[in-house]
Every structure is written in structure tokens, then in C-alpha cells.
Amino acid sequence: MRREAALNAAILVALIAVPAWAHLSDEPFTITLATRAVILALAAVGLNIALGIGGMVSFGHAVYFGIGGYAMGILASHAQSYTPMELFGLSIEGTKSMLVIWLVAVVLSALAALVIGLLSLRTSGVYFIMITLAFGQMFFFFSISWAAYGGEDGLSIYVRNGFPGLNTLVPIQYFGLCLAILLVVLWFNARLARSPFGLALNAARQSPARAETVGLNPMRLRLVAFVISGAITGLAGALFADLNRFVSPTMFSWQLSGEITVLIIIGGVGRLMGPVAGAVVFVALEHLLGGLTEFWHIYLGAALLLVVLFARGGLVGLIAGRPGGGGGGHG
């Protein structure tokens, strides 16, 4: 455990030091890359609650990422064009305030996760993987055919949304905001894993029958975890859309669900910092290999294959050894 703690600290220091260096040497693009890594990490931290602690292999987490993205896109586009949104006879003003957008993103993705979770958790194993994938595809095709909000082309927002006291268009300030959210969520995640709820969820993953015998309700535990997981990924989606000032149906695509899962696997399933390590490595590889060759996905594929076949526990597991406490391993 001590090595894992040291590794976690090293990852955090790197996450702060690199953008700080980039800011001083005036390389805004590196800051943008780091922001991208932080946001992807946040999405993966969300998924890791369902996948790592809860043992639910959701292959449709892009749903929540996309809902977060579209919450931002739709609200901001209405604010941008000064036209209120007409919804069931109500007239809702758009907004450029990040706080409001985040709230909407979190609430909507939590609601979606509640409905999808209620329906999907009736199944297990492969059927669960496939039904979550199917819900992902449902949202994907819906967003493509939803012409009012750009359809296949997506929605562009001209100016990044505002946060009180910050100029979010300055790369380092937006990075700091995203990092702060990631740290809060990581702290929450660490607390959650050690809380009675987290321990019960862990037990329900490792042995549902025993958990039930001692009076726990695995179904309800999983559903709550699934909703929390979806809400966090939804928040990441809103941040991601704001980073790019653009949303499109690709945020709902199943490849994106796959990529979020890949981040966790590269980093280490069920490890607190696994998703963060995975996201940093992923973004770095994407940038470095993407600059060398157009076909960098071949190397990503090969790396992923090697991790799955030979390095269970991902990078964190490789460096820090077997897990000592809660949240390690998966079933």
C-alpha cells in the first residue's frame, strides 16, 4: 500500500507540475492536453465506481458523458442565440453559467443512470454488457437524428461558459478548475470506497449470495453505485464539451464507452488513481504516437492487448504490486 500511496502522489505532482511548467514556458497546447487528460480521468473515475467497486461492466457509459455534453451544448446554444427553450409549454432560458450547467448535467445523467440501471440490472454477465451497449446506441442514434440540436454535425459554442471569479478562456485557469473538480471527486471516491456503503458494495460484488444473507440488498447497492457513477461521468461530459466548445454524437458513440473502459484497464481496475494514471498515459500516447504515425491505434491496440493478457492490475498494479485494501481486484 505504501508504494501505491507514493505512486499516487507522484501522479498528482506530475499532473500539477506539467501544466505549471507549460504555463511558464508559454505552451498553451500542453495545458489543453493536460486538461483533456484530467477530464477523461474524471469520466473514468466515474465508471470505475460501477466497474471497479461494483463489478458492473457497463459498456455504455458514453450515454452519461454525452448527456453531460449535450446539457452544456443545449443550454449554452439557447443562451447564445437569446431564444428560450420551449419544453412542454414551459419556456426555459439558456445559460452560460457553468455552475447551472453542471447541476443540470449531473441531475440529468443521474436520472438516465437510474432508469437504465433499473432496467439493465435485471440482467447480468454478457447480457448486462450488451444491454448497456444497446442503451448507448439508442442515445447515439437519437442524437444523430435530433436535427434541432445539430444532428450529425453537432453543436458549436463560440465562447466558453463562465465561472464566477475566473476567466475560463485562459487555459491554465480552466485546467485548474477541472483539476479541482477531479481532486474533490477523487476524495469523495476514496471516502466512498471506505464507507459502509462502499464496503457493502464490495461485498456484493465479491459474493452476492453472502451479502444478501447478512441482510444487504445487492440490487439496491448496485443501483445507487450505478447512479453515482453515471452522474460523475455526466459532469465530465459537460467539462469535456466546454473544453472543446463543441458537442457531437461521437460523445455518445460506443467507441467512447470503450475508450473510457480502456483508460481504467491501462491504469488499474478498482484502484483509486488507476483511471487518472490511465488517462494521463492515454493522452500522452495519443499525442506522441499520433505525431509520429497516422496509425497510432495499432500501437494502442497492441499495448492494450499486452496489458489485458499479461499485466492484470494495469500500470498501478504493475508498479505498486497487489492491492492490500478495499477496492482491489474485480470479479
Residue 261 within binding range of other proteins, rule CB under 8 A = yes
Q: 291 vs 331, which CB is nearer to other proteins?
A: 331
Residues 36-65 binding other proteins (CB under 8 A) are 51, 57, 59
- The residue within the footprint of other proteins, chosen from 262, 273, 277, 283 (CB under 8 A), is 262
The whole-angstrom separation of Cα 59 and Cα 42 is: 17
Residue 123 within binding range of other proteins, rule CB under 8 A = yes
Residues 124-163 binding other proteins (CB under 8 A) are 124-127, 129-131, 133-135, 137-138, 141-142, 144-147
| C-alpha gyration radius of the chain | 19
Residue 295 within binding range of other proteins, rule CB under 8 A = yes
Residue 187 within binding range of other proteins, rule CB under 8 A = no
Q: 168 vs 253, which CB is nearer to other proteins?
A: 253
Q: Which of 92, 94, 7, 58 is nearest to 232 (CA)?
A: 58
Q: 100 vs 304, which CB is nearer to other proteins?
A: 304
Q: How far is the CB of 303 from other proteins (least distance, A)?
A: 8
- The residue within the footprint of other proteins, chosen from 301, 321, 324, 325 (CB under 8 A), is 301
Q: How far is the CB of 142 from other proteins (least distance, A)?
A: 6
Residue 258 within binding range of other proteins, rule CB under 8 A = yes
CA-to-CA separations, 221 to 49, 124, 189, 203, 226, in angstroms, rounded:
12, 15, 15, 10, 9
The whole-angstrom separation of Cα 85 and Cα 79 is: 9
Provide the phi-psi class of 314: left if phi over 0, else alpha when psi is between -120 and 50, else beta: left
Residues contacting 42, CB < 8 A, separation 6+: 178, 181, 182, 185, 232, 233, 235, 236, 239
Helix axes of 274-292 and 28-48: crossing angle, nearest 10 degrees: 140
Q: How far is the CB of 132 from other proteins (least distance, A)?
A: 10
Q: How far is the CB of 52 from other proteins (least distance, A)?
A: 10
The whole-angstrom separation of Cα 224 and Cα 193 is: 13
Residue 106 within binding range of other proteins, rule CB under 8 A = no
Q: How far is the CB of 204 from other proteins (least distance, A)?
A: 17
241, 73 in Cβ contact below 8 A?
yes
Residue 300 within binding range of other proteins, rule CB under 8 A = yes
Alpha helices in the chain (DSSP H): 2-24, 28-48, 62-81, 98-120, 125-145, 171-194, 196-206, 208-213, 218-244, 254-267, 274-292, 296-310, 314-320
Residues lying near other proteins in the complex (CB under 8 A) are found at 51, 57, 59, 119, 122-127, 129-131, 133-135, 137-138, 141-142, 144-147, 254, 258, 261-262, 265, 269, 295-298, 300-302, 304-305, 308-309, 330-331
